[in-house]
Amino acid sequence: MDLFVKDRNGAGVDGANFYFYAGDTLLGSTESAQGRASFQIDNSNAAIKVVMKYKGITQEALLAQGQTSYDFKINKVVKSDFLKDNLPVWIGLALLLIGAAIAFIKKEPSAFQKQIILVFISLGGGGVGSVIPGFLKLNLTMGQKFAVAAAGAMAIFVITFFFVPAGV
């Protein structure tokens, strides 16, 4: 059973509590993370009542037999912590700026300094890429003994780290 809880703007709500009942018997409970919660129900043919509670707001839903998801809507805007929600981007941008600053300050960087710059830029790219929606999958084989499989932010790191532009 997948449950979603969204505010008036359509943003997922963290911290909503869900309670599952078959008749008057409590089957279990769970809490939402990023507006989503899941709960395993052994008998999908049973009529299930779901109660959602969030900061004094209570909503109930009676799910039809075989129903696998339900959306709850809260008629208010739930404020999120912008810095906390976007921390990987801020860290990524800081690392990108550090890498770029070192690259421009050093006129003739040594091989070691080039590697340090590359690490900063790769980590920064991965941090920024961690919040980009979608999916990036990379399967890379170099020779017979070296292979890399990565997805998402790790794939961005691998691409920027291993594929150095010509002349760098």
Domains of the chain: 2-73 (2.60.40), 82-162 (no CATH)
Position with higher pLDDT, 126 vs 41: 126
Cα–Cα dist 142/159, whole Å: 13
pLDDT at position 60 over 90? yes
The pair of three-digit structure tokens given for residue 15, joined into one six-digit string: 């911290």
How confident is the model over 80-90, as a mean pLDDT? 76
How confident is the model over 93-122, as a mean pLDDT? 89
Q: What is the pLDDT of residue 80?
A: 63
Strands, E assignment, the chain: 2-6, 17-22, 25-31, 36-38, 48-54, 57-63, 69-73, 137-142, 146-151
134 Ramachandran zone, left/alpha/beta (phi>0; psi -120 to 50) = left
The tens digit of pLDDT for each residue in 121-160 reads 888 988 888 877 667 777 777 766 677 777 777 788 888 8
Q: What is the pLDDT of residue 79?
A: 67
